[in-house]
Amino acid sequence: MDLIISTSSGKPIYEQLKEQIKDKIISGELEPGYALPSMRDLAKVLKVSLITTKRAYQDLESEGFIITAVGKGSFVSSNDIGLLSEYKLKEMEENLHKAVKQAKLCKVGLDEMQEILSMIYQEESE
């Protein structure tokens, strides 16, 4: 499982880990039942604190993405992926709300906003 940590992103490391693992689960890259690395092993590989990986795993568990069995480890939950993807849709909507507010502050109209969104979407698809 490839995870990338950025010290310059402004996001806490535990949040970066949580989001990347969540994305891999929603995309199907990590299937239900997949055994995640132990918190200790992940901390060692990424050269981060055990507390950091523990926080990411706890958040993922509280959101229903993983389950943890004492002495056995943490596994991708078998919850409905459609339900889990609602988290990402909600996040996208929040980001779009922010973008619309910013556009209105800059007096960017809906047509121009849609054009910008289309260009960005195309760039990301390539």
Q: What is the pLDDT of residues 60-116, one digit of tens each?
A: 999 889 999 989 999 999 876 666 677 778 888 999 999 999 999 999 999 999 999
Residue 5: inside a domain: no
Query: Within this chain, do residues 118 and 86 fall inside the same structural domain, yes or no?
Result: yes
H or E element in which residue 68 lies: strand 66-69
Q: What is the DSSP letter of 3?
A: -
Q: What are phi and psi of 85, to 5 degrees?
A: -70, -15
- Tokens (6 digits) for 65: 């993405």
Domain of residue 50, residue span? 13-76
Query: Within this chain, do residues 69 and 116 fall inside the same structural domain, yes or no?
Result: no
3-state helix, strand, coil in the chain (%, to 5): 60, 5, 30
Q: Measure the CA–CA gap between 36 and 1, rounded to whole angstroms.
A: 8
pTM of the model: 0.69
